Structure 1
Amino acid sequence: MLAMATDTDTLTLNILLLGGPQSGKSATGNTLLGSHEFESRPSLGSVTQSCQLLGKTFPRYLRRQGGEAALSVRVLDTPACPHCLLSDGDVQRAVGDAVARRGRVHLVLLVLRADVPLCGVDRHAVWLAQELFGPEWTTHALIVFTHRDTLERAGAEEEEYLRRASGMVRELLDSVRLRHHFVDNSAVWLRTEGKPLLDKLLDLSRQNKYRELPLKDSF
């Protein structure tokens, strides 16, 4: 069951990944875990067909109550929304059921691609978060922009890239108080790439006093 550990030697963070097809959700899950356990590959359609929960414990990751503590990361990967084979309603029910069975989540990662023009934002994943959790989801959310390596090869600066984004993207960033992170999911050393993101998520959860994000009663 997904829940924050009560053992002072271990802190558990439950992370939910949401995003559109080929956005890099599964690759981001691998980056967080420092491994290649989630299936992630180029495809003309959606690779992830069902919810999958994977976890990893990082010993002596942080200090808590005056001593060293481990960080247990549990990542719930989800089908894309929109999905080429499933309706938005099907995806909503699948994700909601998975969260209900396995416990609540602490953090929502909305995954977007940085290697495509940010002329708009796919509203489906935003709609899904809103339907599952209500407006409170934004206080537990961070936007992950994948394919940072493409920007680097093009000589583009991250902040300049965001300044040129559409009004919808800026509106989304404003809704999560500008919390975002760029990742290179192709990096050889995933653990090195994932640690800065984990640190941001740990800080956000700390700001929320490690509260879980409950499902809406109407779900």
Structure 2
Amino acid sequence: MTPDINEVHLNILLLGRPQSGKSATGNILLGSYEFESRLSLGSVTQSCELCQGRFSSFFRRNGREATLCVNILDTPAFPHSYLKASEVKNDIHEALLEKFQRGLDAVVLVLRADVAFSEEDFKCIQLELLDFEWRNYFYIIFTHHDRFEENGLKLEEQLSNAPRALKVLLESAKNRYHFVNSVAPWLHAEGRPVLEKLLSLSQQNKYKSLKFKPSASSLQHTG
């Protein structure tokens, strides 16, 4: 079957620490409650899970209405409450091989905006866990924006005084980030701006994906 040229697919990988709002962010992007997301003293997601969404007439391409299809891979948190780092790594690698044979279009790191960011967090995020050149595909989503709004604080001002480790991380993402309201009643309204930015990121990369190679634990550029 000939692929529809006015249908764009985005393969999105979600990463984050326990209780960062990673699965909730996946639901926001999909506009529906697909991933299990709840408060817990430990990690909720135990293995990788793929969910898909389809948004008709999401944007215009070549003078025509185009459909956006998103494939979102939620992953076990790192560090995990119950799984070893090697187990998390192997699960993600296997899921990438099975689910994202075409490659990755966005690597999304989910961080809580209302929790202090430390040097230890930065070390964990460097993901020796994944072993690939992710900077051109890297995006940061800050959750719990609502907590700041409730207290009359502006997150942009907070970022200007962020710890050095967080500033370095933002530089790695080329200052691509977005704030989401974790208790938004309308997921579609909260998710569309993020999807637009991830689509723009894919366009900047000329729709080229990061291809996962089974022979080596790395991801390389492919067209």
TM-score (ref. length: structure 2): 0.91
The alignment partner of 1:195 has SS state of: helix
In the alignment, structure 1 residue 15 sits paired with structure 2 residue 33: no
Q: CA deviation at 1:132?
A: 2.4
The structure with the greater share of residues assigned to helix is 1
CA shift in 2, pair 1:31/1:124, >3 Å: farther
In the alignment, structure 1 residue 126 sits paired with structure 2 residue 125: yes
Is contact 2:145-2:179 (8 Å) kept?
Answer: yes
1:116 — aligned with what?
Answer: 115
1:86 — aligned with what?
Answer: 83
Is contact 1:15-1:73 (8 Å) kept?
Answer: yes
The structure with the greater share of residues assigned to strand is 2
Q: CA deviation at 1:64?
A: 1.3
CA shift in 2, pair 1:142/1:55, >3 Å: same
Q: CA deviation at 1:127?
A: 3.0
Is contact 1:55-1:74 (8 Å) kept?
Answer: yes
Q: CA deviation at 1:27?
A: 0.3
Quick one: which of 128, 138, 141 aligns to 1:141?
138
Quick one: which of 30, 35, 38 aligns to 1:38?
35
Is contact 1:151-1:157 (8 Å) kept?
Answer: yes
Same amino acid, percent of matched pairs: 49
1:24 — aligned with what?
Answer: 21
Is contact 2:29-2:194 (8 Å) kept?
Answer: yes
Quick one: which of 176, 179, 186 aligns to 2:176?
179
1:65 — aligned with what?
Answer: 62
Over the aligned positions, Cα root-mean-square deviation in angstroms equals 1.6
TM-score (ref. length: structure 1): 0.92
The alignment partner of 1:44 has SS state of: coil
CA distance in 2, matches of 1:118, 1:90: 25
2:167 — aligned with what?
Answer: 170
Q: CA deviation at 1:124?
A: 5.6
The alignment partner of 2:153 has SS state of: coil
Unaligned runs of 5+ in 1: none
User: For each residue in 1:130-185, what CA deviation from the matched residue of structure 2 results, as whole angstroms up to 9, or x when unmatched?
Assistant: 54242x20110111000000011121111111112100000000111100000012
1:102 — aligned with what?
Answer: 99
The alignment partner of 1:215 has SS state of: strand
CA distance in 2, matches of 1:6, 1:113: 38
Say which is worse superposed, 14-23 or 65-74, in terms of deviation.
65-74
The alignment partner of 1:214 has SS state of: strand
Q: CA deviation at 1:6?
A: 3.6
CA distance in 1, matches of 2:126, 2:86: 11
Q: CA deviation at 1:114?
A: 0.5
CA shift in 2, pair 1:133/1:119, >3 Å: closer
CA shift in 2, pair 1:161/1:120, >3 Å: farther
Is contact 1:62-1:69 (8 Å) kept?
Answer: yes
Unaligned runs of 5+ in 2: 218-223
Is contact 1:19-1:125 (8 Å) kept?
Answer: no
Q: CA deviation at 1:212?
A: 1.1
Q: CA deviation at 1:119?
A: 4.2
CA distance in 2, matches of 1:146, 1:210: 27
Is contact 2:122-2:169 (8 Å) kept?
Answer: no
One-letter amino acid of the structure 2 residue matched with residue 115 of structure 1: D
2:156 — aligned with what?
Answer: 159
Say how many residue pairs are matched.
213
One-letter amino acid of the structure 2 residue matched with residue 206 of structure 1: Q
The alignment partner of 1:49 has SS state of: coil
The alignment partner of 1:14 has SS state of: strand
CA distance in 1, matches of 2:52, 2:124: 23
